[in-house]
Every structure is written in C-alpha cells, then in structure tokens.
Amino acid sequence: MAEPLGVAVLGAGHMGADHIRRLDRVVSGARVAAVADPDTGRAKEAAAGIDQVSVHAEAEAAMDAPGVAAVLIASPGPAHEEALRAAFARGLPVLCEKPMVPDSAGALRVVEAEARLGRRLAQIGFMRRYDAGYQHLKSLLDGGSLGRPLMLHCVHRNVSSPPGFTSAMLVNSSLSHEIDAARWLLGQELTAVTVLRPRSSAAAPEGLVDPQFVLFETERGALVDVEVFVNCGFGYQVRCEAVCEAGSARIGEEHGMAVTARGGAGVEVPQDYLVRFADAYDREVQAWVDAIRRGRVTGPGAWDGYTASVVAEAGVRSLEHGGRVSVELAPRPPLYGPVSR
C-alpha cells in the first residue's frame, strides 16, 4: 500500500478525539479521512487542522467517504454492533473500542456475522496487550521460568466515576480490560465469577456499590481477584501480580514520575487512562495500521470481545443476586483459535 491508510473515526468524544490526534500526529502510514459524530460541531473541532478530512453526522456516511479504507470505532458502546456490521458489509477492517458490544447476544451476532465472511476484519481495543509491562509479564509467563501460574492479583482504580455511572458498570465497563488481560496472560478461558460487595466508600455517589471485589475462576484451576474502585480520589492505578509455582511478578507501579524535594519524596499518580496507557494506545493503533497495510487483521478479535461481554454479564448477575455464577460460552466458530495471543 503506497498511500497512507485512510481511516474513518466514529465518535469524537474523549476517546475518539484522542485517536484522531494519534492517527494524525503519532501513527505512521495512516491518515484521518473522515470523522463521524452526531454532534458535528464536536467532530469538526476534533478534526480541525487536518487536511482532506470530511465530517459527518452518520457513521455509514463516514465509511462511504472518499479515501476510507478502514474504520476506528470510538462511539458509545450501544452503537458498536450496527457500526461493526456496516463495516463488515463494506469489507472494511475495523478497530473497535471496548466493549465490542455491551450485551452478549449482540456480541454473538457480530461474531457470527464475521464468521460468515470467513475472514477476520475486527480487532477489539483491549490495549493492555500492547502495554510494555503487560507484554513483559506475558512473555515471562509463557516462558515458564516461574512455573505454572496459580493466581493473578489485580487492582483497577479511577479518580472518580462520571455522572450516571452505575454499580453494574463497574463490572461491564471498568472490569472488561481485566477480563481480557486475565484470559490473555493465562491463555485460559474464565469459567465462573463471584462479585463481593464491601462497604461502599463515602466518596461513592449515593447508591453506587464502590468498591467491588471480583473473583474469577479459570478452566485450568487458576484464580484471578480484582479490586475495582472507581472513586478512589487520588489517581488512576492499574496493577497486576502473577503468583506462580516458582515465583511471582508484579507490574503497574512504575508509571509515575518520582519527585524528591525539600522535606520529602513522592511519586506522581496518573489521573487518566489516556495518560497511564498512552504508549499502549500508540502501539495498538500502529500495529493495527501496519497489519492492514500487509493485508492482515491481528490482535484481540471478535471472539475476545464476545467473551468479555459474557463474563461481564455473569459478573453483573453475581453482583445483583449474589453468589458464584458460571460463564457459559457459545461454541467457538472455526475462524477463531484459542484465546488470542
């Protein structure tokens, strides 16, 4: 491919605007060809200063714009299924932010639609697979020097939750990255989930169950626990420790600047996921562009997106009704191999 890959970006909010900036200023081999958002004023603002870009209110109009050869979906989750299937109908490779589709029935429809094509077009935005720390931990676990993984201890903290954030969203939105990261790191499917409800923080909005403590079981007997706390007040933190038969490894504590001044020392804590995982997002989008230019689609796929939705739904049932809930997956289509690596 001699010309830059023309990308239509769907959604110009916080995530979409950052991807527009990334494609325009950071990623090589691509350009922003079109932007779609129901708020066209916001779309124009996000695309300001970019040459030869068209702005649209409708997603399909952006996909049909001149020069578009790929789609990046950063719109709200409920719009993803329609956008993915429209991209499939046009034969356009697509990078879709999580959740692929919020409900498992819709996610399964996407899997089935792609399987009918007989080739992969979708990569799902589980960007932790592109974070240097997570990649190092994955390589260490796959290498076997620490022995069989027994447990993962995970932490996911946000400064504060946005307006309208619900208790279920701690599971089906915040926790989705841990779901995928655990499957990928261990190379195993998750088979059951239990959500425990400690006393809510005084900083949590009225009625929000925050924090939550989540326990996942895997198909080969490992356990994964996650503290998810979206109103911790002090910063954005993501950590993971793998405990194995012959040792342990921990990541996620090295991302702030260490400052020493008169009378003390401290470490900066990132306040936003776009800061904490900036390099991972850059590598993810660059890898996506490079693969498309080679005629391929790689990385986490539609099956990974579907599985995350199924596990999250099981977690919400546990949150709402208590107890352990089994994870029941549909048969995996032949297009998709084992847990994506």
Question: How far apart, in whole angstroms, are the C-alpha atoms of residue 85 and residue 75?
Answer: 14
On whether both 84 and 142 belong to a single domain, the answer is no
On whether both 294 and 312 belong to a single domain, the answer is no
On whether both 10 and 44 belong to a single domain, the answer is yes
ω before 211 within 30° of 0 (cis)? yes
Q: What is the CATH number of the domain that holds 228?
A: 3.30.360.10
331 touches 213 (CB < 8 A): no
At 12, give phi and psi (nearest 5°): -125, 30
pLDDT at 273: 75
On whether both 47 and 73 belong to a single domain, the answer is yes
On whether both 113 and 147 belong to a single domain, the answer is no
pLDDT at 101: 95
Question: How far apart, in whole angstroms, are the C-alpha atoms of residue 31 and residue 239?
Answer: 33
pLDDT, one tens digit per residue, over 131-151 is 999 999 999 999 999 999 999
pLDDT, one tens digit per residue, over 302-327 is 999 999 999 999 999 999 999 999 99
On whether both 175 and 261 belong to a single domain, the answer is yes
pLDDT at 340: 56
ω before 66 within 30° of 0 (cis)? no
**pLDDT beneath 70: ranges in the chain:** 1, 254-258, 272, 340-341
Closest CA to 180 of 69, 340, 8, 7: 340
Q: Which residues contact 21 (CB under 8 A, 6 or more apart)?
A: 46
Number of domains present in the structure of the chain: 2
pLDDT, one tens digit per residue, over 2-14 is 799 999 999 999 9
Kindly state whether residue 332 falls inside one of the protein's structural domains: no
